[in-house]
Amino acid sequence: MSLDQHRHKKQFGQHFLHERGIIERILLALNPQPGERIVEIGPGGGALTFPLLARHGRLTAIEFDRDLIGPLSEAAREHGELEIVHADVLDVDLGALAGGGKLRLIGNLPYNISTPILFHCLDHAAAVRDMHFMLQKEVVDRMAAAPGSKVYGRLSVMLQAYCEVTALFRVPPGAFTPPPKVDSAVVRLVPKAAEKIGIADPALFARIVRDAFGQRRKTLRNALAQICSGEAIAAAGLRPDARAEQLTVAEFASLANTLAAHPRLPGTKP
């Protein structure tokens, strides 16, 4: 079977990019350089894979659909050296794949599992130099949202705490086969250096962000009742009657660090 004969699988969220102008813009944003370890997540029909191979010469791709492995390998031979990892990206140890270096990640992510993939990449951020992903535009809007925005939430805070997030450009449905029912967008994420993150207890930080946005209409005092008291929130310099969408990423970090440094503050839960 050739790539042209492949039937798109709805369960895998397959929408294959074909618009050459968009492909060129993505490659220009990535700007691959000699010697870099580039990993593509979900190569699909190879729309990004083959032009990237032609420019860079070598590429690792993570593909879950078994039916695409053979056709991709065959078609890639005339473009460069393609290593295919047949796996669900959520099961791939990106740190091990980096081999002590840094990966540059790229991909048109399956929209049905894009958020879990983002958090998986975040878990391996120490092994990642940057990420260039195509996602549903609504998700990119949430990733880059500022405090006070209606779409500012857990995804915004968690990603912005650990990465510089830049929305690059919109991609219309017609750039894909089959066309999705929504607009897409390309986003760049650059993991921050450890000293710039400034979060003492990542697990506590993640729990605070999750609970704070769990019920958006609740005040911090009520939303975080299982973690700490209003007095402890005030000790971090925050208003207990504020709501999660009003807090900056730095303020979430300040609250988490205060609780981590002073676990005996009144009302703080273990």
- Residues belonging to the binding site are 15, 17, 42, 63, 88, 108
Would residue 99 be called left, alpha or beta, if left means φ above 0 and alpha means ψ between -120 and 50 degrees?
left
In DSSP notation, 103-129 reads EEEEEE--GGGHHHHHHHHHHTGGGEE
Report the distance separating Cα 172 and Cα 22, nearest Å: 10
Output DSSP code: residue 144.
Answer: H
Helix segments in the chain, DSSP class H: 20-30, 49-56, 66-76, 94-98, 114-123, 137-144, 154-162, 194-197, 202-214, 220-223, 230-235, 249-261
**Any residues with CB less than 8 A from the CB of 237 and at least 6 apart, and which?**
251, 254
Report the distance separating Cα 78 and Cα 81, nearest Å: 9
φ, ψ for residue 119 (rounded to 5)?
-70, -35
Paired strand residues for 58: 81
- Residues annotated in a binding site for S-adenosyl-L-methionine: 15, 17, 42, 63, 88, 108
**Any residues with CB less than 8 A from the CB of 254 and at least 6 apart, and which?**
236, 237, 238
What is the number of residues in the chain? 270
Closest by Cα among 82, 103, 101 to 189: 103
